Structures are given as C-alpha cells and as structure tokens.
A = this chain, B = another copy of it.
Amino acid sequence: MDVPGSLSTALRRGTLEFCVLALMEQDEQYGVELVRRLGAERTLTTSEGTLYPLLARLRRAGWVETTWRESPSGPPRRYYALTQHGHQALRHFREEWTSFRDTVDRIVGTRAA
C-alpha cells in the first residue's frame, strides 16, 4: 500500500515509543486517551493495534508502571506512569534524537532556519 501516509508510518518507527513516554511524563495516561492525543498529531496518528503492543513493551522494559482505576463512566482504565528507568530512557532519547535530527537535516538539506 503506497497511500500517502505510509511515509509517516515508516518515520514513526523507533520514535513513537518515546513520544508516548513524553506524553506520560507529566501525568499518568491511559490507552485510549493516548490514541486520541497521538491522533491529534497528523504525523503521529496511530491505532490501538499499534499502541497496546507498544505499551506492553514499555512495561516489559520497566519504563512504565500501571495502575487500574475506575472510570467515571465505562470500564476501568489502566493508567501508565513513567518509572525512573523510563525518565532515564527519555533523556537518552532526547540526546539521540537531537543528533539524528541534525544529521538528517544536514544531509537532506532541511536544516531549520
């Protein structure tokens, strides 16, 4: 499928994970809310089929902890919050991303003004 969005799809790889961490940095978040917030970003729009396996990986990596909480209306939600390792991973990503971004900008000639 070469739909226009497929380019973004490839770009998301390896980045989405840390965007999700960043979204949980301030306050704990639950799955559907994360899908909604990512959906608000054209280039990060994704589906539950992507997000839940991703969240499971974050849990297995020890980067997030989860807590079940009642919902004001509807089934209970599983809330995700960063652990210390999660904060550390996010810091590491920020360095790695900055370096990567600058390199790509230089090579493809899209350096920010």
Contact = CB atoms under 8 A, between A and B. Distances in A.
Interface of A: 7-15, 17-19, 22-23, 41-44, 90, 92-94, 96-101, 103-105, 107-110, 112
A107 B41 contact: yes
B11 A97 contact: yes
Contacts of A11: 13-15, 96-97, 100
A7 B18 CA distance: 11
A23 B42 CA distance: 28
* Residue from the set A18, A43, A44 with the largest chain B CB neighbour count within 10 Å: A43
B108 A18 contact: yes
Contact of A109 (B10, B94, B99): B94
A97 B103 contact: no
A66 to B, nearest CB: 21
A68 B87 CA distance: 51
